Structure 1
Amino acid sequence: MAQRRIKQRKLSNPLALAVLSMCAETPRHPYEMAQVLRQRGKQASIKINFGSLYTVVQNLEKHGFIAAEGTERDGRRPERTVYGITETGRAEMRDWLSELLSVPVKEYPQFEAGLSLAGSLPPDEVEALLRKRLAALDDGVSVQAEVLEECRAVLPEIFLVEADYALTMQRAEAEWLRGLLRRMETNTLTGMDGWREFYVTGAPPQEWVDLDERTSGLPRPD
């Protein structure tokens, strides 16, 4: 799939986009922003840390994306600054969100990195670790599916699309992992013999030594 280079932004933390979204709805102080995001379950898809939220708010104000619109006081609590989105911020929010929704980009999940380096461990150990991951995934899928069904009973689906996506991705990973483990078990995953040989002899098999020459002209996946 062809992928375009994403735009370099003054702020790239997804929490900044969430703050812009909150301020686009109505002016809010940071504590209220955090409350609303958590009430809506956004912590499942965006890392929400109250300390970093204040830093994000300050940076958004610094770049002119939001502006202070006054203060609020709740009982004896200290006054809180209320922020609203600026026209510049609204344009940034629309452009950033449009890019996230329309442009596929190469991401670097930690599991993918682990898979790429799995050969540094013996195959039996890797298989045991992957089975442990699969068990955790299956448990997580079961819990998330139950939670999602409970939410669907009271919320329109439009408020649950990210949760549905996350659950679908977890199920897909679990099924892919099941297939990989079957191929490792039955020795139908090519290269398994060489992998095992390496951990018996301590020397790379000849097929590995020949790889550079055999693959020098092949295209590499992005």
Structure 2
Amino acid sequence: MELTPAELTLLGLVVERPQHGYELEQVIEQRGIRQWTDIGFSSIYYLLAKLEKRGLVEAAQASGGAKARRVFHATADGRDAAARGARTLIAEAAPAPHPVLAGIANLPLLAEHEYAAALGARLVQIDARIAAVEAAERAQEPLPMAASEVLSYSLSLMKAERSWLAARAQVSHDREDRSEEDPRQLPGASG
């Protein structure tokens, strides 16, 4: 019974402490979980229902009136499944699909200035994401170890991508500058 990353993330939050769907949404938002996994607000209850059907969580009606929310608790099987899933995802260096690679693989479709502009736009977005994750981290201190490690790993990946983008954007910018001066200076240009 393999869990998707979204199911494992949600189950892990319920293992951390029993919660209802709205509380889970708040934690997901506060911790910036959508930066690294695909859990939409509308999918939280869908995922909880799947986990409940599989016996990994159970829900009790919270006290407090007719509109009381169902609080989800992890079952023993749920805690075991979450631990197995976490171990597997941490230990295995599986390739992670990254949409930017599909764009780069189709680089021959773009003019060099289009590629440079796209790199620059992505760099601005990565800078904004880094700033948002760092702000979320500062706003929630002290964080549970799991949240701290997720943010640390995420920031490391984003900073590595930022470094790669900055180097590529500079190379493209340098090439554009040289091409304005003398097109023969571009790599691959015939003289």
TM-score, normalised via structure 1 length:
0.66
Do residues 51 (structure 1) and 38 (structure 2) align? no
Quote how far apart the aligned CAs of 1:102 are: 1.3
CA gap 1:156/1:67 in 2 versus in 1, 3 angstroms: closer
Q: Return the alpha-carbon distance in structure 1 between the equivalents of residues 11 and 133 of structure 2.
A: 30
The aligned runs of 1:63-74 (5 Å cut-off) are 63-68=54-59, 70-74=60-64
Aligned: 1:87 with 2:68: no
SS at match of 2:95: coil
Shift of 1:24: 1.9
Match of 1:180 in 2: 168
1:17 is aligned to: 8
TM-superposed CA distance for 1:65, in Å, is 1.3
Aligned pair count reads 179
Q: In the superposition, relative to structure 1, how do residues 27 and 131 fare at CA in structure 2: closer, same or farther (>3 Å)?
A: closer
CA offsets 1:53-93 (integer angstroms, 9 cap, x no match): 1111111111121223x31133x551333332222212210
With CA pairs under 8 Å and 6+ residues apart, which has the higher RCO, 1 or 2? 2
Taking the aligned partners of 1:79 and 1:157, their CA distance within structure 2 comes to: 28
Cα 1:96–1:79 shift into 2, 3 Å: same
2 CA distance for matches of 1:89 and 1:161?
22
Structure 2 residues without counterparts, runs of 5 or longer: 179-185
Counterpart amino acid of 1:72? A
Distance 1:71 1:31 in 2: 14
Asked whether the 8 Å contact 1:23–1:85 carries over to 2, the reply is yes
Asked if 1:104 corresponds to 2:93, the answer is yes
**CA-atom RMSD, angstroms?**
3.0
Match of 2:183 in 1: none
Which has a greater percent of helix?
2
| Secondary structure of 1:160 counterpart | helix
Closer, same or farther: CA 79–145 of 1 in aligned 2, 3 Å: closer
CA–CA distance in structure 2, aligned partners of residues 27 and 138 of structure 1: 35
1:35 corresponds to 2:26: yes
Gaps of 5+ in 1: 1-7, 198-222
Change beyond 3 A, Cα 1:73–1:43: farther
